[in-house]
Amino acid sequence: MSAFAEELRRRLLAPPAPDLAPSDDVEAAVLVPLFDAGDGELHAVFTKRREDLRRHPGEISFPGGRRDHDGESLLDTALREAHEEVGLPPDAVELVGTLAPVRTFVTGYVIYPHVGLIEPGRAWEPSPHEVATVIELPLRELAEGWALRPITRRGFTFETDTYLVGDHLIWGATARILGELLKRLGS
């Protein structure tokens, strides 16, 4: 294990489980893939969802989805979904930690984030059914792009945490996951 991976593990020790009241929320998991592009700076991998999807169309998210198989762990869910969505094999991920689960407010999911290191320079294989494109963004630029911004969805406008890098706008559950990641890494 590299000193770099060990430092990430130290910062990303599994947090205590938040007090999530029992609900009918669907359990889901995401993988937060990180890599060092050789410049000493961590980058995160996101997907931009297709515009024609029923849930969260066109949004930027981490690869992941709901737990579909009985007995499947949430880590296995995150790894399976990352493989299906972007072609990242589970054995190419070195798990370094987890982040606190977050809820989606409209679609009724509880999302469990798992953070993993991957090698840089991967040739992505986006799922043509779910993913419009794969996006790699430096954590430093994401932190610099944070602001409270108004978002309008389903006829309602609200101010929320967002991260903007170029024309890539991250908000919602993904922004909350990213915010905790940046806080835990001291960014």
Residues 25-40 pLDDT 10s: 889 999 999 999 887 8
What does the buried/exposed string (b/e) look like for 6-34 if buried means 16 or more CB atoms within 10 Å of the residue's CB? Answer: eebbeebeeeeeeeeeeeebeebbbbbbb
What is the C-alpha to C-alpha distance for residues 161 and 157, in angstroms, rounded to an integer? 13
What is the C-alpha to C-alpha distance for residues 139 and 16, in angstroms, rounded to an integer? 24
Is the entire prediction scored with pTM above 0.75? yes
What is the C-alpha to C-alpha distance for residues 134 and 18, in angstroms, rounded to an integer? 30
CA-to-CA dists, residue 58 to 27, 116, 130, 134, 186, angstroms: 22, 24, 10, 12, 29
Q: What percent of the chain has pLDDT over 70?
A: 93
Looking at residue 44, its pLDDT comes to: 98
Considering only residues 149 and 14, tell me which one the structure prediction assigns the higher pLDDT.
149
SS3 state of residue 141 = helix
Question: Terminus-to-terminus CA distance in the chain, angstroms?
Answer: 23
SS3 state of residue 83 = helix
Superfamily of domain 3-139: Nucleoside Triphosphate Pyrophosphohydrolase (3.90.79.10)
- The 10s digit of each residue's pLDDT in 3-62 is 878 888 888 866 555 555 556 788 999 999 999 988 789 999 999 999 888 777 789 999
- The 10s digit of each residue's pLDDT in 166-180 is 999 999 999 999 999
